[in-house]
Amino acid sequence: MIRDVPVDTKDAAPFVLPPLPFDENALAPIISARTVQFHYGKHHRAYVDKLNLLVQDRKIREVSLVDLIRRTHGNPGQADVFNNAAQVWNHNFYWQSLAPAGRGSENQNPGGALTQMIEKSFGGLPALKTEMVENAVAQFGSGWVWLLWDGRALRVTKTSNAHVPFIDGNTPLLTVDVWEHAYYLDYQNQREAHVTAVLDELLNWTFAAENLERAKALGGRLAAPIQ
Ligand code: FE2
């Protein structure tokens, strides 16, 4: 499982493509095996391969993926390293944010403390989903929609291209990829339909609850990513 891979070790380079936490057809019919094959096997893999080439070229050593993202953020001369490193991290997190289709209420109900927090922060799960869909539709071009913990409450936000929320001091709980490569084979240009289906049928609420629990256990605003 991806979550068992330490992300802040000092020997993370060369970076690896973590195994998918499920079979490539496990998300069908919401996300087809063909989309997963391209998304994971081509796009995600390409970010890992490109990052390793860049790291080798720049003679970057002894740095974790998270540290590399932090060090290169906002540095125009290292924008290519940042973009590829952040996209590796985002995709590692994305696959864990999804759960195999067909599990019914497990994918539809957050449960426990997370449900209470959703009630408090949004007024309920339907309102949370509406806000996530609105952010997905409003994101101009490529990006990501996030459910995150800001140290006091849950929030929904969107980021452009490769940007990661932990740079801004927030803890991501779940993400949905809204780059076209995430949905175009199955939904063509219908981003809203894709995101709505993912939110209704594929979210890994157990992963979100674990991330929230760990963030709260560490206390307050948590800048470190949970993965
Ligand atoms: Fe993607």
Using CA atoms, how far residue 209 sits from 35, 109, 116, 156, in Å, is: 27, 11, 11, 15
Residue 26 lies in a domain: no
Question: What's the 220 CA to ligand 1 centre distance in angstroms?
Answer: 30
Confidence band for 108, pLDDT divided at 50, 70 and 90: confident
CATH number at residue 117: 3.55.40.20
Q: Are residues 208 and 137 in the same domain?
A: yes
Residue 8 lies in a domain: no
Q: What is the mean pLDDT of the chain?
A: 89
pTM: predicted TM-score of the whole model, two decimal places: 0.91
Burial class of residue 181, CB neighbours in 10 A (0-12, 13-18, 19+)? middle
Which conformational region is residue 67 in: left (phi greater than 0), alpha (psi within -120 to 50 degrees), or beta?
A: alpha
Using CA atoms, how far residue 41 sits from 12, 83, 174, in Å, is: 21, 18, 21
Q: What's the pLDDT at 4?
A: 33
Mean pLDDT on 68-92: 95
Convert the pLDDT of each residue in 173-191 to its tens digit: 999 999 999 999 999 999 9
- Residue 38 identity: F
Q: Are residues 119 and 162 in the same domain?
A: yes
Q: What's the pLDDT at 219?
A: 67
Q: Are residues 78 and 155 in the same domain?
A: no
Question: What's the 99 CA to ligand 1 centre distance in angstroms?
Answer: 16
Question: What's the 204 CA to ligand 1 centre distance in angstroms?
Answer: 17
Q: Are residues 91 and 110 in the same domain?
A: no
Residue 38 has pLDDT above 90, yes or no: yes
Identify the domain boundary among 96, 119, 134: 96
Convert the pLDDT of each residue in 19-35 to its tens digit: 999 999 999 999 999 99
Identify the domain boundary among 68, 96, 124: 96
- Structurally, how many domains does the chain consist of? 2
Residue 169 lies in a domain: yes
The helix, strand and coil proportions of the chain, stated in percent and rounded to the nearest 5, come to 55, 10, 35
Please compute Rg for the chain using Cα positions.
17
The DSSP H or E segment spanning 171 is: strand 171-177
Question: What's the 52 CA to ligand 1 centre distance in angstroms?
Answer: 18
Q: What's the pLDDT at 13?
A: 56
Residue 12 has pLDDT above 50, yes or no: no
Cα 84 to Cα 90: distance, rounded to the nearest angstrom: 10
Q: Are residues 200 and 130 in the same domain?
A: yes
Q: Which residue has the tokens 């998918």?
A: 20
Identify the CA nearest to 164 among candidates 53, 87, 220.
Answer: 87
Q: Are residues 46 and 122 in the same domain?
A: no
Q: What's the pLDDT at 109?
A: 87
Q: Are residues 67 and 169 in the same domain?
A: no
The domain in which residue 64 lies consists of 33-96
Confidence band for 104, pLDDT divided at 50, 70 and 90: confident
Q: Are residues 128 and 193 in the same domain?
A: yes
- Secondary structure (DSSP) of 51-117: HHHHHHHTT--S--HHHHHHHHTT-GGGHHHHHHHHHHHHHHHHHHHB--TT-THHHH---HHHHHH
Question: What's the 93 CA to ligand 1 centre distance in angstroms?
Answer: 11
Question: What's the 144 CA to ligand 1 centre distance in angstroms?
Answer: 9
Residue 4 lies in a domain: no
Report the 10 Å Cβ neighbour count for 111. Answer: 13
Residue 6 has pLDDT above 70, yes or no: no
Question: What's the 44 CA to ligand 1 centre distance in angstroms?
Answer: 7
